[in-house]
Structure 1
């Protein structure tokens, strides 16, 4: 539909052939696009995730999630090659408004997929322990046609839990959500179809020993709940973002009471971790594993959940982390903490995520496609929110991203 509108507006659209897209090549051809393997005629290329180093061509403009702004090591060869070729890089993640709010994102669908995947993984983990529970009947996100069907599955799960009770391995079942952005909103959107009692972080601490073992509880954590000021002063959000070294983590105090942790926060090395390998090792107990499972939707490897050792994919979505040995084991068998770390979660909801992402992106495509990239950067006729997202312009880092030079220096 959106390709058809772009073609009507006079924009020539080439679509690379694919047999794994939710929309077929034939559908794009019917909408007026040229379907071809060769994109050499295109001067602006839109993608989704990282592109192969060999894919880039001299002087072209590329728009995708580059995952480079933190200096992610795995993507530095790609960034270096784009710079060498004089490419322009526009990163969806940095298309933000004047308040820094992202305008193009998969976050909500990552949250939806991550929550559903974690619930499925719980069922498989409990099955492996000989416990056939209401969770056993929940499918993978991609096994449902729409988000609506996933929500119906959660309602059914909730009804069964009310009748059969919460499995003892999870009881009392406390599901903790870190963060409150689009990812967390999506995850909670799914979880909220399971009957539950909501607690504040402080209530979790004060009522931990009196929680009903047959109920499900939900707790949402904000920054002020996860850190404290080192000098004992008042928490200030702006100060925390700008000077995180003045704060230290306190999330560890909640961990003994959390059955399932759904991690949805932005993290980089300036900030305290939620859980460290050392903490996990010192407090691990085979008799009562807490957290029993972690859905690390943020998927920062070695990040806020330090023992998230690797990103996974839909074909192999979970692994067990053994705090005693520091080793992982693919699947849901063995000792330790269950970790879900799929980093392509929207792909498990291809129809819904594609439709919503396309609607967000379409309004910017004409301007990005028609811009004259031979102009000086300051004269580039693009919406300000798009200009904020230009990491490389004709092979040079723009002012906001000059700090990234150090990531690719020899």
Structure 2
């Protein structure tokens, strides 16, 4: 099998890569006969020369490769007909901005597998950038608070940053008695917690977090999804994920009191469009709502936090949400607003470390499946949204969306 690593074509640019030079060499040793080529890129965190130095071909075209690996959505003009692509597609939740991408995948006879749906038997993702998104999201949110309040100054991250640098830069932030609430308990939440713990924020159980008056001490709490929802008619019944998936309309959010008790919110939970909204526009303008900064790591638009009007970029990561009008305003333009951070490519702030981590997951977990059974492997098949230009049965619900009817 010939495998290609595509250049990233999305705007704004993304510097990550699916496999580092050393990981490609390791795969070639593990799977003799497998060929790898890397498409030349001027923006990749690992340079063309880093691949050439290890004898890996760097080329302009990947036309002779069967399977192509990237990170973010590829530009439509760059997609090669009949190939098998792996990248993050952001289209299976009816994301309108990527409807043309789905249509192109279908019309060009492409096979497309989405990293987001590479999951185990418990429906847990096998490989992701989520930890890095949470870590960088927490840093950006603290930075936003510093810019809003004038309490401290943190620099914008660049692609040479490391986790250790960020830990060092944030020393001293915990001197301020900020209360931070984190939604979710997965890898994104773990990444955010890793930063807060390291710099001195105290973890509190959710009930204690609610009771603690603001201004007491630097602390955070995280909520599991089951702690953010309750059944509408049977609120005392044990929480069931399977029932939530089958009957999302039977549940309502109980998150509002936690948002009111916090200064900063880090949104790290998985959300499905059929699930309840956790902060409505009405709640965001309630008199008891005093959130100062919302860092939306998951960046679902529209999503469960209705202040996230749009995604933002690394160069311009912040905007203000005016809760009285429900409109966007310039960042930090009024202390009556809620400042928002919604960068949709957070791990790209640490592209070297994040790529290394993600590539290890591909090398150790995904490639053994791909190179042994290919699309006959149930894990690979389960992540495949389009096969040879047709929606797979699991994703057939996208048919009307692809046709432009939904």
Same-fold call, TM cutoff 0.5 = yes
Question: What displacement does 1:144 show?
Answer: 6.3
Please name the residue that 1:353 is paired with: 354
For residues 258 and 28 of structure 2, the distance between their equivalents in structure 1, rounded to whole angstroms, comes to 54
What whole-Å deviation, never above 9, does each CA across 1:69-110 have from its counterpart, x for those lacking one?
Answer: 111111111111111111111111111111111111000001
Gaps (5+ residues) in structure 1? 128-132, 167-171, 373-379
Partner in structure 1 of residue 363 of structure 2: 362
8 Å contact from structure 2 (residues 159, 350) kept in 1: no
Question: What is aligned with 2:201?
Answer: 196
Judge conservation of contact 2:214–2:261 (CA < 8 Å) in 1: no
Instruction: Tell me the SS of whatever aligns to 1:313.
Output: coil
Query: Out of 2, 27, 45, which is 1:6 matched to?
Result: 27
Where does 1:5-154 land on structure 2 (aligned, <5 Å)?
5-8=26-29, 9-127=32-150, 133=151, 135-136=152-153, 138-142=154-158, 145-154=161-170
Unaligned 5+ runs, structure 2: 1-21
Inter-partner Cα distance in structure 2 for 1:26 and 1:265:
39
Distance in 2, matches of 1:203 and 1:266, equals: 24
Q: 1:265 aligned to 2:269? A: yes
How do 1:366-405 and structure 2 match up within 5 A? 368=370, 380-381=375-376, 383-405=377-399
Using the TM superposition, name which of 1-10 and 61-70 deviates more.
1-10
Alignment deviations for residues 142-197 of structure 1 (CA, whole Å, 9 cap, x no partner)? 37631122123333433xx1xxxx3xxxxx52100100001000010011123233
Number of equivalent positions: 377
Deviation at 1:116, TM superposition (A): 0.7
Q: CA deviation at 1:49?
A: 0.8
What is the CA-CA distance between 1:370 and the residue it aligns to?
7.6
**Do the aligned partners of 1:83 and 1:396 also contact (CA within 8 Å) in 2?**
yes
Secondary structure of 1:45 counterpart: strand
- Once superposed, what is the RMSD of the aligned Cα atoms? 2.0
Counterpart-to-counterpart distance in 1, 2:397 and 2:86: 20
CA distance in 1, matches of 2:209, 2:57: 56
Give 2:239's aligned residue. Answer: 236
TM-score after normalising by structure 2: 0.87
Match of 2:296 in 1: 296
Using the TM superposition, name which of 272-281 and 98-107 deviates more.
Answer: 272-281
1:111 offset after TM fit, Å? 0.7
Contact 1:59 1:85 in 2 (8 A): yes
Q: 1:143 to 1:57 in 2, by over 3 A?
A: closer
Normalised by the size of structure 1, how large is the TM-score?
0.86
CA distance in 2, matches of 1:295, 1:404: 30
Which residue of structure 2 aligns with residue 340 of structure 1? 341
